A and B are shown apart, each in its own frame.
Chain A
Amino acid sequence: MLGFFDSPENLIRYSVDTHEIIEWIYTLQTLSHANEPGIAGFKGGTFLGNVQKDEFLYYNQGHLAMTYSALCTLITLGDDLERVDKKGIVKGLQCLQKDDGSFSSLHLGSENDLRFVYCACAISHILNDWSGVDIDRAVQYIQACRTWDGAISLIPGQESHGGSTFCGVASLNLMGRLKQVLDDHDNWRNELVQWCVSRQIEGMQGRTNKLEDTCYSFWIGGTLKILNCDHLLDQKLLRAFVTDCQSDMGGFSKLRDPGRSYYPDLLHSFYSLSWLSFSHTTIHEDDVINNGVHLGSNANGSLTLHPLNCTLGMSSRRIDMYRKGILNSSQIT
């Protein structure tokens, strides 16, 4: 979004080697095993130590959210995913889906909810292979998560929430079932839109009668974008809130008064920039605290953000490049 990787000077100045990062990510890959179909994917970290290629450790398993993150990161760094065990990951998805249509994250066992339905859908979309997802059952689960106030909860029966609402809507979009579910379902689309716009105070709150938080500008702004209704928000007010949450040490925090009450963190920085990227591609100088870092600023001091593909939660340009790369390589063979 910030165009950091476009500028070789940045990579040199900050000693970033994209190939090293790609290699490190691949060390976290767990390959499928004949005896255990469910374990392929990517781990989150190296806490299990070095596992040799021929060593089988049952608990050396991929985690769905890490697999999703790894694939997005690899694509963003320009990798072609050739070394990814795609078939293994897709087989693993099958093992992780529950009878009620939800997914858990780990073959060892974990909670199951809409977060992992989203991860499974995003992974299937990126790998262009839906054989690991029973779409009808996944759709049923999302419908079961519809709340009495028109939005989507994380598990059936629970409270409507911005994060789960995004996961549900984005998943339906990826599965190609958005129109069918929202428009066949007696006014659900309208209820959803109303719920989403009702979450705006200045910034967005994640649940009714809770506090604003910059990350919900993405979760809920993103949901509305998928529904082609994000223009219904008071964009100016939301932008003022989000940019106000910038810290002079860099980054965004979840609320105003950063550095004193709340510190900036990666999550809120990512989601604030994400929303800004697909709602506004140009930020003006007075909106952005610039610490002199070269981020491809325009001549007039404004900053152009490259848009996020909000359904996938990753760079639009990069996912397009990856897809074109697949086409190119298939043309060669």
Chain B
Amino acid sequence: MIPSETFHDITPISQDDGPHPVCSIDYPKEFDEAQGYLRAIMRKDERSERALELTALCLRFNPANYTTWWFRRQCLASLSISPSNFESKFTFFGLKFIAKDLMLAAKLGGTNPKNYQVWYHRRNLLEQSFSDIKSASGTDEVGNALELVNEEIEYIATVIAEDAKNYHAWSHRQWILKAINMESKWNAEIEFINGLLEDDVRNNSAWNQRWFVTHRGSKSIPFAIDDARQELSFSICKAEQDPYNESPWKYFVAVIKEQFRLIGTTPEFASLIGVSEKALEETKANFEQESKKDGMECTNLIAAHIDILEIKGDKTSIASAIEFAKLLESRYDPVRKKYWKLRAQQLEVVTK
């Protein structure tokens, strides 16, 4: 793989695992050779085109070697021509290098979709450009950056299409949305999430993304009450599709809890939680009518009801909550019977 002329002037450095190696790795000969040259090149700190090619070769063999990735970025930065007066906490990479390396990362990422180093490399390539959008420094930069943003969002979507719960893909996507903080992108993301929930209403990653997007990626921007109502409608609607599904019920309760912490003592909240409880009970009733099954089997629905009753906090509600918990314990949720027993006991303490 390495034409011998390319590194004719370099003496490769062997790995030398010492006299008593532990867990020796049986490297393919080509890899060992390539690494030998890389060790020498890195010792020299030669950040050239041939060094760049060499890192690509080594990364094909082991895309998890973070030191090789680091050195590759050193080469890219040295070969890039940063604009005059360039000042940034991020490294500058030339546009053609960004494009080329995004392709390399995509190629390596294809068979390694959960490799931390590959995703980190993408982020490193992009963070300077994305900060251009925020600072809106010059139209050319922003134009290029926006194109990169769109392409990157598209790319992540292809990874999610392969594995709709790829944690790295979602982390990277969240980073972009927050970094650029564009209303149009936040809104488009809701559509994207809705599409995923159509495919699989049980996709908890998509539910999590919905919470993230509707909060604009921040914990300090809770829902206004109208938005809360909308989210409650949305989650109930999805819960109806499959009342056994945990995700929409947890989301439902989370919306209520957030409002409780904000406006829990107000009549608006009393109305909100009243309406929510009714909707939950209706879902249970509809389920029983359509399926001819016992709605208590939908343990996630019942768990949500218990949470709501606990928040309501009045004597009757707590009594109902205890009853439900005891039913889950004794009959309907045997895997968690010890938990429900404890929960009933905790609720009984509340009553006193």
Contacts and interface: CB of A to CB of B under 8 A. Distances in A.
A200 B335 contact: yes
A17 B20 contact: yes
A73 B312 CA distance: 51
A209 B20 contact: no
Nearest to B253: A149
Nearest to B21: A24
B110 to A, nearest CB: 20
Interface in B249-273: 250-251, 254, 258, 261
Interface residues of B, number: 57
- The A interface, classified by DSSP as helix, strand, loop or mixed, is loop
Contacts of A159: 167, 170, 204-205, 208
Interface in B208-264: 208, 211-212, 217, 219, 245-247, 250-251, 254, 258, 261
Contacts of A193: 339
Given A110-B120, A190-B346, A47 B70 contact: no
Interface in A222-242: 231-234, 237
B287 interface: no
Given A148-B211, A158-B208, A232 B17 contact: no
A108 interface: yes
Q: Which of A24, A106, A161 has most chain B Cβ within 10 Å?
A: A24
A39 to B, nearest CB: 12
A209 B203 contact: yes
Interface stretch (B3-11, B35-43, B46-54, B100-108): B35-43
Contact of A144 (B14, B219, B250): B219
A198 B246 contact: yes
Contacts of B85: none
A83 to B, nearest CB: 16
A182 to B, nearest CB: 15
A23 interface: yes
Interface in A82-139: 106, 108-111
A110 B66 contact: yes
A234 B334 CA distance: 9
A157 B335 contact: no
B338 A232 contact: yes
Interface in B56-115: 65-67, 70-71
Interface residues of A, number: 51
Nearest to A146: B219
A63 B21 CA distance: 20
Contact of A210 (B116, B123, B204, B212): B204
B305 to A, nearest CB: 14
A210 to B, nearest CB: 7
B155 interface: no
Interface string A150-190: 00001111111100000000000000000000000010001
B190 interface: no
Contacts of A23: 18, 20
B170 A149 contact: no
B13 interface: yes
A209 B67 CA distance: 36
A286 interface: no
Given A59-B71, A231-B338, A158 B171 contact: yes
Interface string B166-187: 0100110010001000000000
Contacts of A111: 116, 119-120, 123
A328 interface: no
Contacts of B35: 47
A49 interface: yes
Interface in B328-352: 334-339, 342-343, 346
A272 B171 CA distance: 28
Contacts of B247: 208-209
A328 B334 CA distance: 50
A197 B39 CA distance: 49
Contacts of B334: 234
A48 interface: yes
Given A20-B20, A57-B43, A207-B204, A149 B70 contact: no
Nearest to A231: B338
Nearest to B73: A109
A148 B247 CA distance: 11
B16 interface: yes
Contacts of B250: 148-149, 208
Contacts of B338: 231-234
Contact of B174 (A144, A157, A197, A208): A157
B165 interface: yes
Given A108-B67, A147-B208, A46 B167 contact: no
A109 B70 contact: yes
A183 to B, nearest CB: 14
A157 B171 CA distance: 8
A50 B16 contact: yes
Contact of B261 (A20, A157, A186, A198): A186
Contact of B336 (A148, A197, A208, A210): A197
Nearest to A159: B208
Q: Which of A45, A47, A57, A202 has most chain B Cβ within 10 Å?
A: A47
Interface string A26-69: 01000000000000000001111110000001010001000000
B65 to A, nearest CB: 7
Given A111-B119, A159-B208, 7 more contacts: A49-B13, A49-B15, A50-B18, A59-B71, A106-B66, A158-B167, A158-B170
Q: Which 6 A-B pairs have the closest CB atoms?
A: A148-B254, A20-B20, A159-B208, A208-B204, A209-B202, A50-B16
Interface of B: 13-18, 20-22, 25, 35, 39, 42-43, 65-67, 70-71, 116, 119-120, 123-124, 165, 167, 170-171, 174, 178, 202-205, 208, 211-212, 217, 219, 245-247, 250-251, 254, 258, 261, 303, 334-339, 342-343, 346
